[in-house]
Structure 1
Amino acid sequence: MRLFYFFQFLVWPFVLSAQAVSVEGTLVQDSDGQPLGFATAVAYRQADSTMAANATTANDGTFTLNLEPGTYYLEIQFLGYDDLLIPDVIAADEAIDLGTLRLGQGGVALETIEVTTERSQMVMKLDKRVFNVGKDLTGAGNNAADILNNVPSVNVDPEGNVSLRGSNGVRILVDGKPSAMLSSGDLDALRRMQGDIIESVEVITNPSARYEAEGEAGIINIILKKNQQRGINGSFGATLGYPENFGASYSLNYRRNQFNLFSNFGIAYQRSPGGGSSDQRFFDDDGSLLEVYETETDQDRGGIGGNFQLGTDWFINDYNQLTGSLLYRRSEDDNFTVVTYRDLDEDRNPVSTTVRDTEEESGNQNLESSLAYKRTFPDDDEHVWTVDAQYILDDDLELSDIVQTTTGVTDPLLQRASNTEYETNLLLQSDYIHPFSDSLKLEGGVRATFRTVQNDYQVTEADAAGNYQVVGAFDDELEYTENIAAAYFIGSTQLGPLGIQAGLRGELSDVTATLLRAETTNEQDYFNLFPSASLSYQASEGNQLQLSYSRRLSRPYFRLLLPFSNFNDPRNNTVGNPTLRPEYTDSYEAGWLRYLDNGSLLASVYYRYTTGIIERLVLPADDGTTIEFPVNLGNRDAYGVELNVNYDLFDWWKFTSDFNLYTAQVEGSYQEIDYAVDITSWSGRAASILDLSDRLQAQVTFDYNAPQNTAQGRRLSTYALDVGASLDVFQGKGTLTLSGRDLFNTRIDRTIVDRPDYQSTSEFQWRQARQVVLNLVYRLNQDKPAAVQ
């Protein structure tokens, strides 16, 4: 009956509710037995970890949860206290009295207050949001770029650029550490990472001093799958999709005695069409039309790629733990691009046609190894010392063969382009946390990174005899070194309902970019202090307030420093600027988190002031070509308000939404041209999740990014509709998911450039966003761990 009504009305299935069973308890402080009011008690279904009910404790510490018959586990949380997990709560016919439950105080925990309205979707905290990707139906079987594009506040445009709250200054980490692939500025890097190995995504909009200062808009932290449940457990996955998307994966974990072994593997073959078109017009000083042509791009990109991770935790004793892991990624792509230029006269009559046919072979290898030591102390499990080391090797190669034909020209133009890249990255870090009392905690740490990137780019062209000669304007090698030393200190205290945290981070940067053939060097040595502060206040039952401030910077990706990128479209070249300097941002934010009976509401207002903003300008040349060139343009004042809502409309219907409205004033000039602009725009995302039966679930997601002005014109709107449905199979041990992403293929980058000497309209998709994916996951012994007593 419920399924019938869903297909009739889409959102109004008929549900029969079983008789509720009352589960009661009283929460007190472990130290003195005093009752704890305003704590959160949440019940999750044992079978699939979805939330069944939640409650807030009264002033006397009592709470009541009404549950349908079944097996559950409970999580109880309160600011400044350790979480309490109660497993195997069996609701049958009679009421359950859990008795007196004691919650131990584990020092100040400003970052642990959370309310979970839908465990499969998003855990909301004041300083960050954690998006649990495992249950997102529209992301099953997709890559990391697709998954990030479904995370509230985050947008991945059709070319692969990641932005947070409308800003591109985002730092992307993997398990809290940098990844060579994701920090290089490679637009395809996120697409090479299979989504099946991702457990969750953390979005941190205003990081504290414990985090590296990189990323003016905030940090996106991708958490890979790992479990410490005893015995062997894990999952196996298979993917089938259109356009071509075939994959398989596993995530396994084995815990016995002092050792925990974990491994992740994923392999996928993917191909996707892409392309776009543009209309470009060039004018002289008096406004007369000099040249006009249309460009049409058709491309097909993709290949095979995979990743393999192997690691172990060694629990030396109750207070010492050593973790080592190795992650290897490899991809081999064959990319085909056809660019057609149609030159027109002033009346738009055809003059000539030029076709460039490019075949590119691309290969990437990435090896990341890490070793981590954790020491806890007998006096308090919050008293922790950690030491981390990570070493990264990354190797990337692109080889292109180009054939260009032009009407009226007998012999084709033959060209070759090669782009090789090699990177090493060493990270050393140590952190120490000391809780001096129940209400005072101090922490500090040191960190050093040593990064070297070598990039060699060259274009050759065949002469009349068929011999390839170097094209001097496209021949150079960049050597980039980035050495950063950092130290930080944070103090935090809890004064009743008021939590206070303040910190200071210092970073010494030594950055050098050298063009070896041109024999030019740009050196930048600078030291910066980055303060942070946070106030958290429990205003009343179900109301949490926070004020925060941080200073951040965004160093230019080294790819923005490269003299060249590719040679597929020589009339519209993208080049780098080795003289770029970092952006600096002062960020202020106020947040209000409201706990509701069936959900939560997070409202935030923010202000960011940025100096030295990096803007990519399209600069026309006299020969009818353009160069996209990044510069430090000027300053930006950005204001915004964001609203996140999670709400269970009914037991069978859950709703989540995210809305962000922002405005910015940009001031700056380049080559005596003023590029000041006022920007106002908004974005939103809404998801509706319906439990059609005990085994069948459906999800519909719609997102929209409004148009906005740019320094040279305007970027038009994009929107997309995603749908998905999942069915539990194999007696609940497996899940079959069918998803459709961007059903109407509307996630297209459309831009307008309107300057006195140059005008253009264009639309482009690096890869087609529309896809249909069928994914099967089989779980092996994945039960919730018992509580630690």
Structure 2
Amino acid sequence: MNKKILIVALTLFLSLLTFAQRPEGKKITISGKVIEKGSNLPLEYATIVFENSTTKQLSGGITDENGNFKFEVTAGNYNVRAEFISFKNVIIPQKVFNADTNLGTIQMEADVAQLNEIEVIAEKSTVEIKLDKRVYNVGKDMMVKGGTVSDVLDNVPSVTVDAEGTVALRGNESVKILIDGKPSGLAGINIADALKLLPADAVEKVEVITNPSARYDAEGGGGIINIVLRKGKANGVNGSIMVNAGDPETYGTSVNLNKKSDSYNLFSNFGYNYRKNPGNSMVDAEYFNSDGSTSRFIKERRTNDRLSEGYNANFGIDLNLTNSLTWTNALTFRENNGENPDNVFFYNFDASNNPTFVRNRLNDQKSDEFSIEYSSNFTKKFKKDDHKLTVDFATSQNRENEQATIYDQILGDPASLATQGTTNKNNQQRNLFQTDYVLPIGKNGRFEAGYRGSFQKNLTDFVVTPVSNFSNTLEYIENVNALYTQYGSKINKFSYFFGLRFEDSHIEVNSLSLDDYNTKKYNNLFPSATFNYEFSESSSVSLSYSKRINRPRGRFLNPVSSLSSNINIFQGNPDIDPSLTDAIDLGYLKRWKKLTFNTSAYINMTTDAFQFIRKESGLFVEGVPVILSTPINLSKEYRAGFEFNLNYTPYKWWRINGNFNAFRNETQGDYSYVDYLGNTVTQNFDNVALTWFTRISSKITLPYKIDWQTNGTYNAPQTNAQGKSLGVASMNIAFSKDFLKDKASISLNVSDVFNSRKRIMETNIPNVVSSYSEMQWRERQVMLTFTYRFNKQKNEKERQQKREDNGEGDFMGQP
């Protein structure tokens, strides 16, 4: 296996070296920094354009999160300009560059005329492809207007969201989701549910990091998804108001307000939403006797009328205490109330497929959730660029309560009516402390070190009435202390980064009702390394390695948290262990004038990988065996694949984003258990699955400046040890029009046009059950959204200063 991996990696690397574009002429390095005039805050994603005075050919680069830029150009005579949306261009005309040049610090100031017209939510390129990550800017993406964060993620390259809201990266569900670069208590106990409730309008961008460095939390064998919330950047008062309505019955509103000056930045987001998300599912099952003969058939039909009503608010302030010290405080809360009448009909048939009786099970669920989080950040910048110290603290509480009354009866037999009640109370407390130090060394060196402590406690109390064996109280305590260090540098066109992270974990999973206590203490080293070679300013290749961990949480551990179906029950495993992953990624990035292309080959090798099994519980309902689905640790999982992402703009009025991912997933391992008859049952889970998925997004500007966007997705079939999932295709469309001098817009989007987004499974347990199932979490939805954006101009004194500057910024340190 290792030889095959090495051969594949070397072949791909040599191919990239062969076909990469070679630079022509003398290459020189251009560097510098871009800041906002007055506040001295760095401007991320500012563009530095070099236009050759003779050929008019364009080159250049963009600034990083610290406002720094560094790129190569061919020596020559150039017109140079710095550009940033809603800021005045800074220009250097007709200058000869024959050697490496540092342009110093470029000061850019806001353009008052533009601020009166510009949209607060800027229309950046929807997807920015970088070598180490992909950045999806929500911007004016019409597909997510009025939607949720879950809808946002479903549009991100390499990311998929299935029918139940489970997020996967490159098909791997072992992914860590961060909010503003850190785990958020707002995600509560079930991250998938939280993402369905947070509004899309609160998100500025999503960063996808497939192979993180040692600086990042080692959690997430498949990589990291970082959700960056919106915060105003333009001086003065600015904001936006959005209202939406849709079918099935949905309506909501959100308000973004910001006030920014040289000494502070106030930011806020408030929202209200009311959503109906009807869904449905079906299971056709054939049950067998021990000799393999058919015993009966059952057709299960389920409808869900989900209703949620929620409020959310986020407000905070950035205080510029000095020119080098910033203090940020933010408070966020979310409240949501929901209902979910879960109505299930079980159509029973005998061995000859003749109908016998129909059982109805109505699970009338109600829920209420409340989350609150406070976070604080100190950032101290030193004299040298990139030399800084940051300190973060966050504390959060999350409460989620569910109550359900279950009515169960055989239709036509009133005497068979049985009533059952369940309550599920979840409480979570999370505290986070983190500090990071960055020290530039020499011309290109960079040293980083830091500490992070994450401490959380979850208490889940599940009660079934009348008294049932399924009642339980689960306590989960997780304390993780981590230290990391890393160093990187650049030698000509070659750059490298080495890192090492140490994490000490103390985990307690205590089933208080069963007096079952599980304590797990372990510590791990997580090395990482990245190598990068730049063939030119538009072409580069990278090779990276990292070690990751995936800790089980939530429903993976909880013995039982729902009894919607009394014959198909999901049961957590309190004794499940974390899995460890070694990830290798080989990537290549190439930019042309109208096309950006990024491809990568990757290999993930996981020990103690999670696998879901189905087995008989020993319980029976009307003679039907109760089947339990539970997660276990398997010995090995190998995942290898390749993907490519592209941004193509064939014309000014047409933009295309595409993503394709194909992978091979191999599992190896056996699972043995003792069934209710005392027999030892051994299941072999050796399996090889080949699958792929693709997504393409097209945005076209029609006459009268009407934007039309279409997204198409296809998930190919995939086999597993006990069956397979079938292929599913889906499509979304949207139209948008700006008016009132581009201050307002109206958009119409249709999610899941053909009502085809489902999870379709075939399962086979020999001599027990064979089944076919379909699950649709949310049916087709139509949404109409109106957005209005506003800006308040600065005071007259500031406007007068801008007129005296004649619209030009300053190049500081420019010779």
TM-score, length-normalised on structure 2? 0.83
* Aligned equivalent of 1:430: 435
Q: 1:386 to 1:53 in 2, by over 3 A?
A: closer
State the partner residue of 1:221: 226
**Using the alignment, how far apart are the partners of 1:782 and 1:704 within structure 2?**
45
Counterpart of 1:381 in structure 2 is 385
Aligned mates of 1:62, 1:76 — CA distance in 2 = 27
Letter in 2 for 1:698: W
Matched, 1:261 2:266: yes
* Offset, 1:141: 1.0
Quick one: distance in 1 between partners of 2:251 and 2:563? 30
Judge conservation of contact 2:364–2:404 (CA < 8 Å) in 1.
yes
Q: Who is 1:15 aligned against? A: none
Residue 616 of structure 1 deviates from its aligned partner by 1.5
Give 1:96 shift.
9.8
For 2:401, the aligned partner's letter is: L
Distance 1:402 1:129 in 2: 46
Matched, 1:751 2:752: no
Q: Secondary structure at the match of 2:669?
A: strand
The residue aligned with 1:697 is: 707
Does the CA-based 8 Å contact 2:188-2:371 persist in structure 1? no
Instruction: Tell me the equivalent position of 2:283.
Output: 278
Task: State the Cα deviation string for residues 307-358 of structure 1 (Å, max 9, x = none).
Answer: 1001000000111000000000010001111111111101111111110112
- 2:371 corresponds to: 366
1:193 aligns with 2:198: yes
Checking the alignment, whether the CA contact within 8 Å between 1:39 and 1:56 is kept in structure 2 is no
Report whether the alignment pairs 1:682 with 2:692: yes
Per the TM alignment, residue 686 of structure 1 is displaced from its structure 2 partner at its CA by: 0.6
Q: What amino acid sits opposite 1:664 in the alignment?
A: N
Which of 721, 732, 749 is residue 739 of structure 1 equivalent to? Answer: 749
Which residue number in structure 2 is paired with residue 326 of structure 1? 331
What pairs up with 1:299-698 in 2 under 5 angstroms? 299-378=304-383, 380-407=384-411, 408=413, 410-461=415-466, 470-471=467-468, 473-622=469-618, 623=620, 624-671=625-672, 672-693=682-703, 695-698=705-708
Structure 1 residues 610 and 685: alpha-carbon distance in aligned structure 2, compared to 1, 3 A threshold: same
- Take 1:53 and 1:225, find their aligned partners in 2: how far apart are those partners? 21
Output the amino acid matched with 2:739: V
| Equivalent residues of 1:398, 1:420 under 8 A apart | yes
Q: Is the alpha carbon distance of 1:311 and 1:204 closer, same or farther for their aligned partners in structure 2, counting shifts above 3 Å?
A: same
Query: Which whole-Å CA distance do the structure 1 matches of 2:87 and 2:138 have between them?
Result: 26
Aligned partner of 1:230 in structure 2 is: 235
* Structure 1 letter corresponding to 2:374: S
Provide the residue aligned with 2:22 in structure 1: none
- Structure 2 match to 1:182: 187
Structure 1 CA distance, aligned partners of 2:510 and 2:590? 52
Query: Structure 1 stretch 614-623 or stretch 498-507: which is displaced more?
Result: 614-623
Report the residue type matching 2:701 in the other structure: D
TM superposition shift of 1:755: 2.4
Contact 2:71–2:537 (CA under 8 A) maintained in structure 1: no
For residue 663 of structure 1, report the CA deviation from its aligned partner: 0.5
What SS does the aligned partner of 1:216 have? Answer: coil
> Distance in 2 between the 1:53 and 1:312 partners?
27
Alpha-carbon spacing, 1:202–1:594, altered in 2? closer, same or farther (3 Å): same
Q: 1:467 maps to which residue?
A: none
Distance in 2, Cα, partners of 1:131 & 1:705: 21
Which residue number corresponds to residue 729 of structure 1? 739
State the 1:35 CA deviation. Answer: 4.8
Deviations 1:742-782 (A, max 9, x none): 10011101100022123343434453241111111111129
Closer, same or farther in 2 for the Cα pair 1:64/1:515, shift >3 Å? same
Q: Secondary structure at the match of 1:506?
A: strand
| Distance (Å, rounded) in 1 between the aligned partners of 2:403 and 2:147 | 27
* Preserved CA contact (<8 Å) 1:404 1:413: yes
Q: Is the 8 A contact 1:363 1:398 kept in 2?
A: yes
The equivalent of 2:116 in structure 1 is: none
| Map of 1:240 onto structure 2 | 245
Kept in 2: contact 1:444–1:490 (CA 8 A): yes
Contact 1:84 1:103 in 2 (8 A): no
Q: What CA distance in whole angstroms lies between the structure 2 residues aligned with 1:171 and 1:615?
A: 18
Q: Counterpart of 1:196 in 2: which secondary structure?
A: helix
Question: Quick check: 2:266–2:317 contact (8 Å CA) kept in 1?
Answer: yes
1:123 partnered with 2:128: yes
| Residues 196 and 266 in structure 1, CA contact (< 8 A), matched pair in contact too | no
Q: Which residue of 2 aligns with 1:27?
A: none
CA distance in 1: counterparts of 2:600 and 2:280, whole angstroms: 37
**In structure 2, the residue corresponding to 1:191 is in which secondary structure?**
helix
Q: Contact conserved, 1:172 with 1:182, CA < 8 A, in 2? A: no
SS of equivalent to 2:201: helix
- When the two structures are aligned, how many residues end up with a matched partner? 716
Q: In the superposition, relative to structure 1, how do residues 652 and 52 fare at CA in structure 2: closer, same or farther (>3 Å)?
A: farther
Query: What's 1:202 paired with?
Result: 207
> 2:46, 2:499 → 1: CA distance?
39
Shift of 1:726: 1.0
**Pair 1:231–1:337, CA change in 2 (3 A):** same
* Superposition RMSD in Å: 3.0
Matched position secondary structure for 1:135:
coil
Cα separation, 1, equivalents of 2:173 and 2:793 = 39
Q: Which runs of 5+ in 1 are unaligned?
A: 1-32, 42-48, 67-74, 107-117, 462-469
Report if the CA contact (8 A) 1:613-1:635 is conserved: yes
1:122-163, Cα deviation, whole Å (9 max, x unpaired): 011111111011221111110111111111111110011111
1:727 partner amino acid: K
* 3-state DSSP of counterpart to 2:195: helix
Q: CA separation in 1, counterparts of 2:493 and 2:273?
A: 50
User: Larger deviation: 174-183 or 582-591?
Assistant: 174-183
- CA shift at 1:425, angstroms? 0.2
One-letter code of the match for 1:137? M
Looking at structure 2, the residues matched to 343 and 320 of structure 1 have their Cα atoms a distance apart, in angstroms, of 70
Q: CA deviation at 1:196?
A: 1.1
Superposed counterparts of 1:282-297, under 5 Å = 282-297=287-302
Q: Distance in 1 between matches of 2:489 and 2:660?
A: 33
CA offsets 1:473-517 (integer angstroms, 9 cap, x no match): 121100110000000001010111111101000000000000111
Q: 2:214 is paired with a residue of what secondary structure?
A: coil
Shift of the 526–88 alpha-carbon distance from structure 1 to 2, 3 Å rule, reads closer
2:62 aligned partner: none
Structure 1 residues 723 and 692: alpha-carbon distance in aligned structure 2, compared to 1, 3 A threshold: same
Amino acid of the residue matched to residue 663 of structure 1?
R
Q: Residue in 1 aligned with 2:19?
A: none
What is the aligned partner in structure 2 of residue 718 from structure 1? Answer: 728
SS at match of 2:375: strand
* Residues 259, 53 of structure 1: alpha-carbon distance in 2 compared, 3 angstrom cutoff: closer
- Partners of 1:97 and 1:772 lie apart in 2 by 51
Q: Structure 2 vs 1, CA of residues 788 and 643 (structure 1 numbering), >3 Å: closer, same or farther?
A: farther
Q: Which residue of 2 aligns with 1:166?
A: 171
Alpha-carbon contact 1:76-1:84 (below 8 Å) kept: no
Q: Is the 8 A contact 1:77 1:84 kept in 2?
A: no
Q: Distance in 2 between matches of 1:157 and 1:783?
A: 45
Does the CA-based 8 Å contact 1:85-1:787 persist in structure 2?
A: no
Secondary structure of 1:184's aligned partner: coil
Counterpart code for 2:427: Y
Closer/same/farther in 2, CA of residues 38 and 226 from structure 1, 3 Å limit: closer
